[in-house]
Amino acid sequence: MRVLDEEINLKENISLSFYKNRILWPFFIVTAILDLITTLSFMYRYGIHLEQNLIVRWLATSVGIIPGVLIGKLLQALAPIGFSALSFRLSKYVLMTLVILNLMAVYVNTL
């Protein structure tokens, strides 16, 4: 694939990201699962209307709490894969940002 006259090998970038960031990917998966669980608990306890993520709130309202949150998490899981495919160099920073955001969401959901 060519972007701005630069050849980008998508599969190679993803493979390289999984290999070089082999510590961050499991952290991302674990924090995403924790965020999923605490978000579901939060929504069942306090209601959908208090969810701060507008996309997840819309999805939960449209298709239900469980499918909505699952779709939102799936979209979040696809984001670092897409970024990794386009730029291996940025994949570490995207993963670190998502891990921190997931940890913040877990903290807020458990208050």
The set of residues, in sequence order, having a beta carbon less than 8 Å from that of 44 and lying 6+ positions away, is 65
Average pLDDT over residues 16-34: 95
pLDDT band at 3, cuts 50/70/90? low
Rounded (10°) angle between helices 88-109 and 10-20: 60
Assign 9 a pLDDT band (cuts: 50, 70, 90): confident
Band (4; pLDDT cuts 50, 70, 90): low
Banded model confidence at residue 34, pLDDT cuts 50, 70, 90 = very high
Q: What pLDDT score does 73 carry?
A: 93
Q: How many CB atoms lie within 10 A of CB 87?
A: 15
Q: What is the mean pLDDT of the chain?
A: 92
Closest-CA residue to 87 (of 26, 3, 28): 3
Average pLDDT over residues 96-107: 96
User: Regarding predicted confidence, which is higher, 6 or 49?
Assistant: 49
Please tell me whether residue 3 adopts helix, strand or coil conformation.
strand
